[in-house]
Structure 1
């Protein structure tokens, strides 16, 4: 009887050992993908926003489009019927330190963008301003770029924000015809807060 009991215990121990090893060597579940802004979360507009599907890579943008690595980024674009558009790019870095460094690069790119625009379009006039920090997760930073082209007579306003939650970074761009007066800066900051809070 003791022989059978010993054999049963040995068999049970072996099963538990195999199960433990399998659990230990099993690949960890993939992290959930970061959640993007929905169209209704963009600043209020005279006509409704529509959103594209989330795509691989980074949004095509003069100021920020070449900064984040395409291989670890995804993006979504938004538009209205009245010459207003926006985009959001989300990048998941390998470490928090890399994400922090990316935030610095994106901020520098936005801060330097007006100068690049003036070189690209001679005669262009404009003003670039830092519009403050949004207190959410590791923080988000908001900028405005107000330009006027004397040749075409057109005025354009762009808003940008760069934010981070841990290893995940997002950059949001918004633009339309017009100038800074009347721009939904408060609404854009709310959109930024929502976007960073949705990152994982």
Structure 2
């Protein structure tokens, strides 16, 4: 499979740098706010992936399953998401999804858990994550019906999913650089200290 990662979290890094004063809430709160339909659909995906992970033998497939499980956890529990991304890094530190997982771990660390999302970058980030998960749901459904047309649709779905994850990776990497540049610029900004009032010249001092 082609190299995968996640472009989508990049917007979060910029938002995180602008919301440092937001009061934190429980680390077990969801990172994305789900609705009932999300939870129902993604729960079936989690159950299927847990079953596959129990017998998974190929590293690339195992990494993808864990990574997708971590994306689902963004709608469930921040601590669970962190734990799942950490597993991807720990088990395959040089794997295709390790870099993306490190990026998400940084996002989850920097973004206050009570942070409010707004703006096009935040919306685009969540939409891209949803697209990846929707592709996984489609793949799960089609894998149960592997006749000729379903197999071709499954292959197309796999390609589309990989492109989406590559796009998410590029965005995350780009916005990580933006965040670092903002921090570097802040460090280089000169600090102003109160100046001493220069003594009056002799001419001006005379009555």
Indicate whether the TM-score tops 0.5.
no
TM-score, L = length of structure 1: 0.25
TM-score, L = length of structure 2: 0.24
